[in-house]
Structure 1
């Protein structure tokens, strides 16, 4: 019997469940390049948008479990989506073999540059007056931008009209064009537009300010300490992927995260590499289970009702 060929023999596909241009896409591309160096084969990004990330995530669930298709997921697609989408086509607790958490980044509330509010206090006053006349975009039910908005507007008791998009690029373009009022996406998605003044950043949903946008106050500083929404991002493979292949992929993820260039590039987009204890497969499996319960509680308290 011939010896099995070493893995990988050919390029690996990393499915990013959103359109190109947002934080998930940027994070995936940075990790893909880092992993490619370690594996000796290209890791190619495949953007599969739709249904708040559920379409692309299902693509990984249904892929052949041979290590050649892996996925990128985050707080929205692997945790909050369980509550937001009762008919979710995957079970994050049982359908995947996790490779590890690769980055965390806080979310941010931002609006069009001519919105009639210059800080969070002024924005809340306008939002509570306008309510459904206010329009906020997101990348689909269950996406990080969606659940962050649900949490924030639930806290201030002023639900806007939500406008779903297939990805961040379309959302931010319409905000810049003045077609909608704002969004609640990741710092890593909108840092460039905020720095250049194309949009107005109001508050970061974290306890500490973002090094990428140091002038933007935290939720604690702005008077809403309950508004904490830091998005974690991780990688996974289909269930039943052989352990030797998972080990190779996991080591490639770990090596990429230890690469100073990867760390630097993630920091540039406002993302942070987790410490060693929070990175690996076991840590991600535990995190997913805990976050499913945490976001169910958050969304239920916010009064969210799935369609």
Structure 2
């Protein structure tokens, strides 16, 4: 070692530079936690685990799915918001955690915009308007005529007050001019049982849970809530083409990280997640669930940030109007 090198190592500048260089490691250098805000085994959990597998394969580190349910996903989202902004704790966010909860809960333990960096929109889930297969209406037009002739006499179910099924159906009722009573259930399963039994008249079900019952002939689909038809239900018209012009409602999953996470880390996560869910081996599962991938132009971090803002503006007033808000 030369005398000049020894001299440099004794300076304050060297004391700052050497530790930083010693700890600098390429991302990721250890396992990543993907926080999923619903219970294990549901459709969202299935997609989260698919995403985790693909992320792990591309990033070269294990990606562990951690299910943290409660308060519409608020518990899990808050945990991520309060985590270190280093890319090792990632939120598998939903329309609920990033938009609905602002309208439902008066005191939310995080800010969906200020506390997160958007990474990428991953998938979309349409809603399906389903009825009892023995009902006297076989098309959306017939159903609307039937419902409007009986204001306040029909009831619709959902998997709980403030759920996507509840709020989406409320928007449908308002747009279509229907007066009906909401019957909340603990989950979609008992609501479907009562639909089949004739205790309620319709349900705005997520396509992931609707498709098996439709295919089994237990329920009948009248329309789907997205602008384009679903490959899983190609014969079911959209609400737009069936008469409710411009109607669109769906939920989604996307990745978010704590505010302040480095841009290069966000880019690495985005590239791995978007590419992973487009792998051929993943497509059969997504198709079976009726889940749609966004267009390539809709997978940027900027697009996701704009989407969250738009969803908040759209859904918060609807949620408050629906009576789903909790004081």
Q: TM-score, normalised by structure 1?
A: 0.83
- CA shift in 2, pair 1:159/1:54, >3 Å: farther
| Root mean square deviation of aligned Cα | 3.0
1:161 is aligned to 182
Q: Distance in 1 between matches of 2:245 and 2:23?
A: 58
Q: Distance in 2 between matches of 1:44 and 1:191?
A: 29
2:322 is aligned to 304
Structure 1 residue 280: deviation in Å?
1.7
- The 3-state SS of whatever aligns with 2:180 is coil
1:275 aligned onto 2:295:
yes
Pick from 192, 196, 220: which aligns with 2:240?
220
2:216 is aligned to 196
1:136 aligned onto 2:194:
no
Deviations 1:227-261 (A, max 9, x none): 32133321111223344433332222133144233
Structure 1 residue 177: deviation in Å?
6.8
The size of the alignment, in residue pairs, is 303
Q: Distance in 1 between matches of 2:190 and 2:64?
A: 23
- The 3-state SS of whatever aligns with 1:185 is strand
- The 3-state SS of whatever aligns with 1:225 is coil
- The 3-state SS of whatever aligns with 1:295 is helix
1:290 aligned onto 2:310:
yes
Deviations 1:110-165 (A, max 9, x none): 23555554333444455453737624122452x32232122012223313223143
Verify the 8 A CA contact 1:109 1:201 in the aligned structure 2: yes
Unaligned stretches of 5+ residues in structure 2: 1-18
- The 3-state SS of whatever aligns with 1:160 is strand
Deviations 1:62-96 (A, max 9, x none): 33433232112233331233234333332211111
Aligned ranges 1:177-196 → 2 under 5 Å: 182-196=202-216
1:73 is aligned to 93
1:99 aligned onto 2:119:
yes
Deviations 1:188-247 (A, max 9, x none): 332222222233222111232211011222212332224321333211112233444333
- The 3-state SS of whatever aligns with 1:109 is strand
Q: Distance in 2 between matches of 1:65 and 1:232?
A: 23
Q: Distance in 2 between matches of 1:52 and 1:97?
A: 20
Q: Distance in 2 between matches of 1:11 and 1:126?
A: 55
Verify the 8 A CA contact 1:151 1:227 in the aligned structure 2: no
- CA shift in 2, pair 1:145/1:56, >3 Å: farther
* Higher mean displacement: 29-38 or 5-14: 5-14
Verify the 8 A CA contact 2:227 2:247 in the aligned structure 1: no
- The 3-state SS of whatever aligns with 1:223 is coil
- The 3-state SS of whatever aligns with 1:134 is strand
Verify the 8 A CA contact 1:23 1:186 in the aligned structure 2: no
* Higher mean displacement: 25-34 or 125-134: 125-134
Verify the 8 A CA contact 2:130 2:202 in the aligned structure 1: yes
Unaligned stretches of 5+ residues in structure 1: none
